[in-house]
Structure 1
């Protein structure tokens, strides 16, 4: 079964195809043969701009979870031997503080259909009954429709492998920065991911490392999809840093002595 034959995805593919063609043509005077790859990057930025309200909700939730982290630890201390009561108390605390436990997954879920479309645009031979000319496009000497594994198997790594390595290196750098921040917050007892639901400890320890799976994924998907992953990863870390700076409450100046 071809999932891309499903009408909503088929329509999204055709719209994405036409949009990338138009954007690539508009960027050609500036980027030349790299215009299609640059168009994918611009598309990613447009998608992330549309998701800024979701990012705001995500960072507000993160700040809220960090604020109640001491209370969560106290609940764990008091009710750690009673998982059901601990779960009830934890959910009640989140509800009373107006904090969503799942705000962080919004951007990832909402981007999944877009990533599927970008993937399809650079693996399918035909879209909407016509040949897919995007497969002929390249970026940095590598074809946008080939993965790093495919490039190595066809002997083209020396010509265009550097761009894959650069993309993967950027994703790994962002993953490491996220892991270090999570470790630092954990040491300070301020980690927003110390959710006290029973059994969440192992998951919370794994979360900082899951970002590295994006780099693994980038090895196996077409270069166009890897560019999307890289751009959205960089956007996420920059967006979160800026929003944390804006949304985190800062203590005001101490009053002058009378």
Structure 2
């Protein structure tokens, strides 16, 4: 593990050296943003596949509703019929999870790298790097202890919070419109009855984007930069990949 972390630290350091002429003292922060972009670019094909899968599942909702109505008294037959429909249409119910799951190791690597005082038995030199005076290994509570919310370090976090809030608001609004325009068939349990609490969970889902604010407040600044970069990428990527999905208030609704 230590050898792996040393290699990862060298990668971040090499990216920082590459960007140093452009970003000077902020080159390590820029390297983290570039690393995040490279990770997202690598999983983009999976994101495209997940988008195709979600659109296919949306198109299948009327057929799934018919199957649940037809086999409502036989849950096993109903589940089998739904699985057969997914297989016939080459739709995987789990395809949307893969992009997020494959990004988690990159996030935890950054978290561990900027939370460790030493790497491979040597002092972690990356902890001495900062973004506009805010240490990349520091957290929001550290910034508050050095000048408060509007001190030099606090303003760095304030800027991150503003970006995260703007991205979360955009994602929330878009998700609400799409869910209203494309209501999903309620999930059912083995007995064919609606799963308790799923309705409330569905209504709560759009709010999850705001939980990023909590994440960036408690993780090291380097990991926070990863989070804000990947969530911004996600918002833009989803807006592009789902641009043809009808939304309430959009061109399709207006034409109707």
Shared topology, TM-score over 0.5? yes
Q: TM-score, normalised by structure 2?
A: 0.82
Query: Unaligned stretches of 5+ in structure 2?
Result: 190-194, 247-256
Query: Unaligned stretches of 5+ in structure 1?
Result: 1-6, 249-258
Structure 2 counterpart of 1:168: 161
Structure 2 counterpart of 1:227: 225
Greater RCO (Cα-Cα under 8 Å, separation 6 or more):
1
Q: Does residue 39 of the first structure (1) align with residue 31 of the second (2)?
A: yes
Q: TM-score, normalised by structure 1?
A: 0.82
Q: Identify if the C-alpha distance between structure 1 residues 210 and 82 changes in structure 2 by more than 3 Å, giving closer, same or farther.
A: farther
Partners of 2:72 and 2:216 in 1: CA distance? 40
> Are the counterparts in 1 of residues 178 and 245 from structure 2 also a CA contact under 8 Å?
no
TM-superposed CA distance for 1:203, in Å, is 3.3
Deviations 1:21-75 (A, max 9, x none): 1111121111111111111000000111111121111111111122122333444
What is the root-mean-square deviation of aligned Cα atoms in Å?
A: 2.5
Matches within 5 A, 1:28-107: 28-76=20-68, 86-107=78-99
Q: Which of 173, 182, 185 in structure 2 is aligned with 1:180? A: 173
Structure 2 counterpart of 1:134: 126
Matches within 5 A, 1:2-21: 7=1, 10-21=2-13
TM-superposed CA distance for 1:80, in Å, is 6.0
Partners of 2:24 and 2:47 in 1: CA distance? 33
> Are the counterparts in 2 of residues 214 and 229 from structure 1 also a CA contact under 8 Å?
yes
Partners of 1:25 and 1:242 in 2: CA distance? 33
TM-superposed CA distance for 1:125, in Å, is 0.5
Moved over 6 A (4+): none
Structure 2 counterpart of 1:252: none
Q: Does residue 119 of the first structure (1) align with residue 107 of the second (2)?
A: no
TM-superposed CA distance for 1:78, in Å, is 5.3
TM-superposed CA distance for 1:88, in Å, is 3.8
> Are the counterparts in 2 of residues 168 and 215 from structure 1 also a CA contact under 8 Å?
yes
Q: Identify if the C-alpha distance between structure 1 residues 76 and 171 changes in structure 2 by more than 3 Å, giving closer, same or farther.
A: farther
Structure 1 counterpart of 2:187: 196
Q: Identify if the C-alpha distance between structure 1 residues 97 and 203 changes in structure 2 by more than 3 Å, giving closer, same or farther.
A: farther
Partners of 1:136 and 1:72 in 2: CA distance? 56
Aligned length: 238
Partners of 1:102 and 1:245 in 2: CA distance? 22
Q: Identify if the C-alpha distance between structure 1 residues 70 and 169 changes in structure 2 by more than 3 Å, giving closer, same or farther.
A: farther
Structure 2 counterpart of 1:4: none
Deviations 1:226-258 (A, max 9, x none): 11001111111222222334899xxxxxxxxxx
Q: Does residue 207 of the first structure (1) align with residue 196 of the second (2)?
A: no
